[in-house]
Amino acid sequence: MGNRILIEVCCGSVDDAIEAERGGADRVELNSNVMYGGLTPSAGAILEAKERLNIPVVVMIRPREGGFCYTEEEFRVMEKDVKVALQCGADGIVFGILKEDGRIDIERCKRIVELAGDKEVIFHRAIDVVPDVFEALDILMELGVKRVLTKAQENTIEDGYELLTKIIDHCGDRLEILPGGIKLHNVEEYAPKLGCNQIHIASFIEQTDPSAKQKPHVFFGNASKNAEHKYNLINQEFVRKIRDAVDKI
């Protein structure tokens, strides 16, 4: 691939993943419930994604929203989900497990790495809430994690840029850093400045499912989210524009 910048797209469904590949993605992170930060997708979703896509599919292993410190039962579910994901053909496992104090849960993370075997192991944005990011990175390197997704403990790449450069320098060639927060308005500035060879992106467009439009006042979950006849789909045009922009760098 030479100096080509790899694009990973955060996807919440197989349809998202298909749109991402059509837009020029090199890899997809397959989730469910992206609005909650991404949860574990179904076995069916993984199988279908692997059948339909020609690019790698890394799979989120996260049993619930709201933090990263899990009960014994939740962790057993995660162990089983890793095994299922690998059986379904996942090219990598995305996860993050912390203790109550926000530090890396070394023993549980080690177990996930062991279960992943020779597949890629990626630590997600749980890294962005640890109290000492450099201590956490050193631990992940020792555990054999391949890559870390991060916005450098901020919500935008602009706010996290200074720390992100320090993180990249700290890890060197020992750990891949996958920056999040790249948008159309900042890709031409920050991709070269960071010197990164891969980025993580997401952008969605609203879709309509008319089957639920007859009773728009009825909700089946949280009434604060979109109306039940609306859902999101990866914006293929956004992915294509990012692809075109990074290919010019």
Query: pLDDT tens digits for 161-191?
Result: 999 999 999 999 999 999 999 999 999 999 9
Residue 88 lies in a domain: yes
* pLDDT bracket for residue 224 (50, 70, 90): low
Asked if residue 224 belongs to a domain, the reply is no
| SS3 state at 20 | helix
Residue 17 is classified by DSSP as H
Place of tokens 């524009």: 241
Helices 236-247 and 14-23 meet at what angle, rounded to 10?
Answer: 30
> Is 223 a domain residue?
no
Is 131 inside a domain boundary?
Answer: yes
- Phi and psi for 149 in degrees, rounded to 5? -90, 130
Dist CA 217 CA 120 (whole Å)? 44
Q: Please check whether residue 95 lies inside any domain of the structure.
A: yes
* Residue numbers of the domain that contains 143: 6-204+235-247
Give pLDDT, residue 249.
Answer: 85
CATH number of the domain that 99 lies in?
A: 3.20.20.380
Query: Is position 221 within any domain?
Result: no
Number of domains into which the chain is organized: 1
pTM of the model: 0.94
